[in-house]
Structure 1
Amino acid sequence: MFQIAVICLVITALLAYVNARFVRLPTTIGVMAVAMLLSLGLIGLKALGVATPHVYEQSLLRSIDFTDVLMEGMLSMLLFAGALHVDLSTLRAARWQIGLLAVVGTTVSTAVVGLALWVALPWVGLQLPLIHCLLFGALISPTDPIAVLAILRSAGAPQRLRMLISGESLFNDGVGVVLFALLLGMATSGTVPGTHEALLLLAHEAGGGLALGVLIGVVAFLLLRSIDNYQVEVLLTLATVLGGYELAQALHVSGPLAMVVAGLIVGNQGRALAMSDQTRRHVDLFWELLDEILNAVLFVLLGLEIVLVPFSGSVAGAALLALAVTLAARWVSVGLPAAVLPGWFGLPTEGWKVLTWGGLRGGISVALALALPAGHERDAILTMTYVVVIFSILVQGLTIKPLIARLPGSGAGGGAEGGAQEGGPVRPH
């Protein structure tokens, strides 16, 4: 495993260099694009009779459990790092709007995507059971705007818009994972739980995750406040994340939600009341660098995974249909409420367009698709997921600037935050 980790880091470093030196796209988008081009190039070499590099790449990727690497390793640290730099007072001011987008929006999107695909997939020669269509809806609905946040800042997007997108993404990951687990249990057991049973399960997973996050965050805060040693305090934050996520898994509560809440507590009360200036600088630098490195590795793996995605004629048509349905569901669940109630959301008139188009999908969706039981349903869902994720990152992520540029006040505040890290939400000043 150590050798595989070293190989992944070396590949990521080289591709990040190529992007920074020649391509010059935002890091997460650029390394994924370069990784995809590399994989496609190896596929081309195989077609010309040089198959060894392609076979080696497939062997390497098959030795990596992408779902385990992301869901059991990277996700806890990525979510904590993102929450660490969100201002809790600003988040609290938009709590109802973020709650609507993250909870209601994710649930509505899951239902819209699932039902629409169940009806429309036979049109392109593919039939999936309703439960598998809903599973696809649950795994594709959570947004992962890590790649687009740097673009939002550089384009001078309004602060309120940035907060809504980052706040939604922090919480809808947990909501989506809970919905996916509930639906996967129904698919594997063949039984449909009653409304009361389903609500109890959701309350246990989501409510338990939030409560555990508060407990972990408070304990970490008390430990940090009791000493003044930045080396130990950095280590405590890392232990909080890794140990807290494992505890959430053991208790069968939502680890993602627990990490978000713990990150908010440590990033606000912890930074303000429990850390010296020296500790704060080291903690921020450590998590910013870790966030950058993990994101780069994650998006490189996403780009390389194209060699393992099963493509065929009927599934390709289904993937294009899924792309259209996913965008429509994003508009119904997020864009439409923001368009109807722009004042309540605190957005400019055209802000709903950025909310809709800026909802990027990422590694979590692919990881959940790979976690499905083997079969033709999994192959179809994996292909649809991969196409939606690649489109959202490469196309939506690189075309959102013109939308932002037309927003009133889009140039305000863009430069003030230029020194923040690229990969995560920003603490407003």
Structure 2
Amino acid sequence: MDYFFIIAVLVFLSATFGYINVRFLKLPNTIGLMLISIVFTLGVFALSYFDDTLLNAEKFIITQIDFKTVLLDVMLSFLLFAGALHTNFEQLKVQRWPIFAFSTLGVLVSTFLVGTLMYYILQIFHLDIAYINCLLFGSLISPTDPIAVLGILKKAGVPKKLETKIVGESLFNDGVGVVVFLTIFKFASPSTETITPLDVLELFGVEVVGGVLLGLLLGWVTYKLLKSIDDYDIEVIITLATVMVGTVIAQKFHLSAPLAMVTAGLVVGNDTLRSDAMSETTEVYVDKFWELLDILLNTLLFVLIGMELLVLTFKVEYVLAGLVAVPVILVCRYLSLLMPINFFKKKLDFVPNTNLIMTWGGLRGGISIALALSLSEEMNRDLILVITYVVVVFSILVQGLTVGKLVKRLA
């Protein structure tokens, strides 16, 4: 079974599930696709009691796909660039300091709060897990997922000022969260090498600062190229090349590709620069191209998340731990946002109940699952993967469906 066939099957399923959602369920695509994919997979499980042909085929497809590589090394760059391209740069500029605090301090505080609380809670379920592995879980579950957030907030009716905070935070804390995860991963990996604080600072400096600088350079070069010509076909291809070449460069020099793509997308999408570099026709084609690519990749991603149910090792205590983790993570997120919000709310015009809305609207998604899949068996991979999956499913289906109602009631 070659990769073209697998991609064809996934696109077929995405189109079918997307049609069912738009025609009958009428849910936001992110929620509808994931829900239908999970129901489909459970249906395949039920059918396997009579005939396991379809189950074996679905299992084979999932085992042939390295979800971590597909998402983190390929899809994420395109999705983040598309998201940043359509983010209000002026609003982001006004809210830059709280967004910076949310995506750095917020992620770090949440990582240690979640890790510490889960360490003690898992003991109650007689699940023996090292503290460092609990911190790994905290680091992979703390960042909000820009892919899930962007897809759902568009239909939730969130006030623009608050939407900018949530979207801006999710765009940047993704890159920071991956760096935090990789840092703790190094400590957790069995190794003879001693990791010093200087090593940690170097990793942060190279990944984060290097990623942002690369993104600024890519954005500036792209802007100059777009400004020098007026041909929408080639200009669309130039933006595509920016993402693909930029990702390769970031991976080659161990820089943060997510942060590079967010930065480049913000530069290219800046209203002032884009009106100077692109004609109205080019703007329309660039926007439509990236919107279509964003929708296609989102569709494939959430179908894959639903099908990842097949690779989980279900045990009652694992699922119970996942259900307990949901309120723990929400409380930790609320606490991690308290200080930045209280500090900035006097200087900036925050909408009422910002903390509650940001806590409930901070969704987890495919990135958390991808990071959990990258863990080794020694890091309690099966346990952490099940807990992560339960949290992500709750986040997308429950929080995603109710965040709009919460906003209308509280904002």
Q: TM range, normalised to the smaller chain?
A: over 0.9
Change (3 A) 1:154 1:335: farther
1:324 aligns with 2:327: yes
The corresponding residue for 2:144 is 143
The residue type paired with residue 382 of structure 1 is L
Cα separation, 1, equivalents of 2:406 and 2:70: 35
The corresponding residue for 1:29 is 31
The corresponding residue for 1:395 is 398
Shift of residue 379, structure 1, vs aligned partner: 0.6
Change (3 A) 1:321 1:186: same
The residue type paired with residue 320 of structure 1 is L
CA contact (8 A) 2:353 2:410 kept: yes
Cα separation, 1, equivalents of 2:202 and 2:20: 50
Cα separation, 1, equivalents of 2:332 and 2:77: 27
Change (3 A) 1:372 1:249: same
CA contact (8 A) 1:339 1:350 kept: no
| Structure 2 counterpart SS, 1:25 | coil
Shift of residue 142, structure 1, vs aligned partner: 1.0
1:131 aligns with 2:101: no
Q: TM-score, normalised by structure 1?
A: 0.91
The residue type paired with residue 203 of structure 1 is G
The corresponding residue for 1:306 is 309
Shift of residue 192, structure 1, vs aligned partner: 5.5
Change (3 A) 1:176 1:378: same
Map residues 283-298 of structure 1 onto 2, 5 A cutoff.
283-298=286-301
Cα separation, 1, equivalents of 2:64 and 2:151: 32
Q: Deviations over 1:230-266 (max 9, x none)?
A: 1111001001001101100000011100000000111
The residue type paired with residue 321 of structure 1 is V
The corresponding residue for 2:237 is 235
Q: Deviations over 1:281-317 (max 9, x none)?
A: 1000000010011001100110111121111022122
Shift of residue 189, structure 1, vs aligned partner: 4.2
CA contact (8 A) 2:30 2:151 kept: no
Q: Taking every aligned residue pair, what percent have the same amino acid on both sides?
A: 46
Cα separation, 1, equivalents of 2:348 and 2:305: 33
Please say which of residues 111-120 and 251-260 is displaced more in the overlay: 111-120
Cα separation, 2, equivalents of 1:335 and 1:292: 34
The corresponding residue for 2:84 is 83
Q: Deviations over 1:352-397 (max 9, x none)?
A: 2110100000011111111112357011111111111000000000
Cα separation, 2, equivalents of 1:252 and 1:180: 15
The residue type paired with residue 208 of structure 1 is G
Map residues 93-242 of structure 1 onto 2, 5 A cutoff.
93-149=94-150, 151-190=152-191, 193-242=195-244
Cα separation, 1, equivalents of 2:90 and 2:4: 41
Cα separation, 2, equivalents of 1:209 and 1:331: 28
The corresponding residue for 1:426 is none
Q: Deviations over 1:91-116 (max 9, x none)?
A: 11111000010011011111111111
| Structure 1 counterpart SS, 2:410 | coil
| Structure 1 counterpart SS, 2:380 | helix
Cα separation, 2, equivalents of 1:59 and 1:401: 38
1:66 aligns with 2:71: no
Map residues 329-344 of structure 1 onto 2, 5 A cutoff.
329-334=332-337, 337-338=340-341, 342-344=345-347
The residue type paired with residue 69 of structure 1 is V
The corresponding residue for 1:418 is none
5+ residue gaps, structure 1, are 409-429
Cα separation, 1, equivalents of 2:374 and 2:130: 18
Shift of residue 153, structure 1, vs aligned partner: 4.4
5+ residue gaps, structure 2, are none
The residue type paired with residue 164 of structure 1 is K
CA contact (8 A) 2:156 2:403 kept: no
Please say which of residues 336-345 and 37-46 is displaced more in the overlay: 336-345
Shift of residue 337, structure 1, vs aligned partner: 4.3
The corresponding residue for 2:47 is 45
Cα separation, 1, equivalents of 2:203 and 2:29: 39
The corresponding residue for 2:93 is 92
Cα separation, 2, equivalents of 1:241 and 1:325: 37
| Structure 2 counterpart SS, 1:400 | helix
Change (3 A) 1:145 1:26: same
Change (3 A) 1:199 1:321: same
CA contact (8 A) 2:28 2:155 kept: no
Count of paired positions = 407
Change (3 A) 1:272 1:150: same
The corresponding residue for 2:275 is 272
The residue type paired with residue 72 of structure 2 is M
Cα separation, 1, equivalents of 2:153 and 2:109: 26
Shift of residue 336, structure 1, vs aligned partner: 6.1
The corresponding residue for 1:14 is 16
Cα separation, 1, equivalents of 2:108 and 2:19: 40
Cα separation, 2, equivalents of 1:45 and 1:345: 56
The corresponding residue for 2:353 is 350
Q: Deviations over 1:64-94 (max 9, x none)?
A: 1111111111000000000001122211111
Cα separation, 2, equivalents of 1:138 and 1:345: 29
Change (3 A) 1:211 1:403: same
Change (3 A) 1:72 1:267: same
CA contact (8 A) 1:71 1:364 kept: yes
The residue type paired with residue 142 of structure 2 is S
The residue type paired with residue 110 of structure 2 is S
CA contact (8 A) 1:339 1:352 kept: no
| Structure 1 counterpart SS, 2:50 | coil
